[in-house]
Structure 1
């Protein structure tokens, strides 16, 4: 039985790129409260030198799971203007939440069309919100017998999957990274730390991908053969071979765009192998991201298997 109550709580915690402290604190509280029930109690590595990221080290690790904890959103600019954080969908009337020096905020996005055909986005509120305030999609968690739909499946679902794997993990590392949605920012030093201290140089990227012409709901977790980055074929083939010999449903993804913590790892000077593996979602970067429950289960199952076999 999948614990979707935890997923709903994760979605509700605000954490746009650069403002991850609340979701970090939520995760630290959850981990310290629940790790006594896990098969192996991890070493928890965090602190100012790691900014708002967290590293969990289990046993004798060979492979690391990377899951980014930040989300897309908006930041208030001048004269009620909104500036994007990452790449959120711009839909008139989207409800946004946040807080500033005067308290809690619930507002909505307004698309303003100009006569010259250009457009810009503002917020609708009875006062001017403090300049530089992060705003995120209002939580709206919907669960059916077949799907879950909510803002921020990308990547609170990837974080949630990593926590499910943590329950049974004996040897491995889980890295909760930051800044992924707005260009990366922590993967370089996190990768350097686990490579130098534990000699770990292979990674799995627990993130959520897209429903496309070749990747569909209900067909299993997607193993990405490429997006804007290309994983090393030898490592990728090992993963695909393990998946083929299992009973876990999976599909292969080949895309020309998109990026992840894996792309950021590839841009470092570290000899990391990496592969993005995630359930596909519809309505990407909107308040209505939708994922099939069967694909979530196959994502958990494949991660558990790979952390034992790689």
Structure 2
């Protein structure tokens, strides 16, 4: 499996609010690669979508949502840091970014819940900092920061190669409470009649979800999708013969929450590979689970 595209995606500085950097990369990728895709999509971008991207293939019935943003930190006053989303913070983690004085590579300091940085000069307030990428690839796994959710984006891009009918949405702000999905939901429902979606995102290894055992179908997290829809997904997964696991959680959330809270009758299901080291510089995902994720999305988008 060639994961060079995923490695590139993990290296892009795009925390919540700064998705434009990744969006620009994706648009260049789409322009360069879409001539080789099975169907040429309609590309929706512009001020009405802010930094989001929608790709419309054929006569869509189902959408796939993948959030572009990552967790990180914002420089406050003096040497203080404010978290973006819910990053795991330990003293010694290396953070990168840039301000008007130049590039930054500094050290994170955590002291009883208080976050700060150690650097040779003051960093301009409002500057965003992210974990320094450190890509490690083994025979059966990969490890790097921001597999959540650059792996979900990678899955969506690979799906584009064979997709005939469907919508792919690259969304923003998911890690810090969301906010981009309502306008996308309106367009999908009112302009294309689409009211079912798969959430291409990354979940956790837990006592009931194990690495290397297949892609995860989430039956619920903090939110509860409509059971009849989830049952349909599970039946199609079972039919496919692709390795999968079922997840039941009481916490966590995704772009599915915004679809469920929208005024439109959306069904949704979170499907993704499980990872260890969540929201840290050392997120780890098993290659077999990535392969199963790609295969299951292709199967579901053909059948739904």
TM-score for the superposition, normalised by structure 2: 0.99
How far apart are 1:255 and its partner, in Å? 0.4
2:272 paired residue among 271, 275, 278 = 278
How far apart are 1:80 and its partner, in Å? 0.7
- Aligned ranges 1:112-151 → 2 under 5 Å: 112=111, 118-151=112-145
- How large is the RMSD of aligned CA atoms in angstroms? 0.7
Which SS does the other structure have where 2:240 is aligned?
coil
Distance 2:239 2:195 in 1: 24
Distance 2:2 2:10 in 1: 13
Q: After the TM superposition, which segments of 4 or more aligned residues of structure 1 sit over 6 Å from their partners?
A: none
Distance 1:119 1:235, change over 3 A: closer
Distance 1:119 1:239, change over 3 A: closer
Runs of 5+ unmatched residues, structure 1: 113-117
> Which residue pairs with 2:79 in the alignment?
80
Distance 1:211 1:170, change over 3 A: same
> Which residue pairs with 2:93 in the alignment?
94
Distance 1:3 1:15 in 2: 23
> Which residue pairs with 1:177 in the alignment?
171
**Per-residue CA distance 1:21-44 (angstroms, 9 max, x = gap):** 110000000011000011111111
TM-score for the superposition, normalised by structure 1: 0.97
Q: Does 1:288 align with 2:282?
A: yes
Which SS does the other structure have where 1:245 is aligned?
helix
Distance 1:216 1:107 in 2: 34
Distance 2:222 2:110 in 1: 30
Distance 1:238 1:110 in 2: 47
How far apart are 1:194 and its partner, in Å? 1.0
Distance 2:10 2:191 in 1: 32
Distance 2:113 2:166 in 1: 48
Q: Does 1:186 align with 2:180?
A: yes
- Aligned ranges 1:143-162 → 2 under 5 Å: 143-162=137-156
Runs of 5+ unmatched residues, structure 2: none
- Aligned ranges 1:209-220 → 2 under 5 Å: 209-220=203-214
How far apart are 1:3 and its partner, in Å? 2.5
> Which residue pairs with 2:225 in the alignment?
231
Distance 1:299 1:263 in 2: 21
Which SS does the other structure have where 2:23 is aligned?
helix
> Which residue pairs with 1:105 in the alignment?
104
> Which residue pairs with 1:40 in the alignment?
39
Q: How many residues align?
A: 304
**Per-residue CA distance 1:246-271 (angstroms, 9 max, x = gap):** 11000000000000000121111110
**Per-residue CA distance 1:271-300 (angstroms, 9 max, x = gap):** 000000000000100000000000000000
**Per-residue CA distance 1:62-121 (angstroms, 9 max, x = gap):** 000000000000000001100000000011110000011111111110123xxxxx4411
> Which residue pairs with 2:295 in the alignment?
301
Distance 1:168 1:141 in 2: 28
**Per-residue CA distance 1:212-245 (angstroms, 9 max, x = gap):** 0100001100000000011101111110010111
Distance 1:36 1:142 in 2: 32
Distance 1:14 1:235 in 2: 36
